[in-house]
Amino acid sequence: MVTWHGLLTAAGVVVSAYAAGHYARRFGFDADIVWTLLPYVALAAIVGGRLAYVGANLAEFRLAPLEALRIDRGGFGSFGALIGALAALVVFARVRRLPPWRLADALAIAIPINYLAMRVGNFLIGELYGDVSSLPWAVTLPGVAGARHPVPLYDALAQAALIVFLVRRARSIPFDGFLLWWTLFYASVIRFAVDLLRSEWRAVGFLTLGQIGALLLAAVSVAMLARRRRETPLPQSEEAT
């Protein structure tokens, strides 16, 4: 059965690939590299996302472990998908002897484009709703008590803002990896913020599993930004001062 979520996810992949191709040329790569890399990244994202979902819902699969292979049932973990996609990108770049962080910067725009498409899809099929709300834009969903925060739309708007940031910032970056790790840091902030409105999903104290993943991703992103900055030689004008 074709759903809005599936259609929008597919559209997000196509649009993000074309956008990444544009930035690949700007960053000194052949645009075709995106289409060559896409199957590997997509497969790794599916595997990583599914493993993350299964790991977070072990009780659901303990009695029927083979159900974990049914990717048409259940869901995917977004952070697992990111890790899988990033791992595939780095391996691909190493094999092709390409600068991995520069290639990652060229493809960074694909992350918020895909998230935006998926979150609109989540909203249209009534997934990932937030807490009960009396705000005028709260939405009522079939089978769900009370009007709810449209959390997927909040997320989608934040992703749109990230796209604008990347388009402007891509004109000049201080070092390779800057766009990628800023994108992942911003994505982690978005996830932590929107999950504040999903108290029913809390798993460890006052935190959801998504917020725990967001904190870890934010820490790694900050560490990698600092590392890449240290590894990048300063321009001569800055060294002279």
pLDDT computed for residue 56 by the predictor: 76
pLDDT computed for residue 241 by the predictor: 42
Residue-wise pLDDT tens for the chain (241 aa)? 677 878 898 899 999 999 999 999 999 999 899 999 999 999 999 898 888 888 877 777 777 777 777 776 667 788 888 999 999 999 999 999 999 999 999 999 999 999 999 999 989 888 888 999 999 999 998 888 899 999 999 999 999 999 999 999 998 899 999 999 999 999 999 999 999 998 877 888 889 888 999 999 999 999 999 999 998 876 544 444 4
The rounded distance, in Å, linking the Cα atoms of 199 and 53 is 19
pLDDT computed for residue 22 by the predictor: 94
Length of the chain: 241
pLDDT computed for residue 74 by the predictor: 66
pLDDT computed for residue 203 by the predictor: 80
The rounded distance, in Å, linking the Cα atoms of 192 and 45 is 21
pLDDT computed for residue 237 by the predictor: 45
What per-residue string of b and e applies to 188-199 under the rule 16 or more CB within 10 Å gives b?
Answer: bbbbbebbebbe
The rounded distance, in Å, linking the Cα atoms of 222 and 229 is 11
The rounded distance, in Å, linking the Cα atoms of 99 and 96 is 9
pLDDT computed for residue 238 by the predictor: 44
pLDDT computed for residue 53 by the predictor: 81
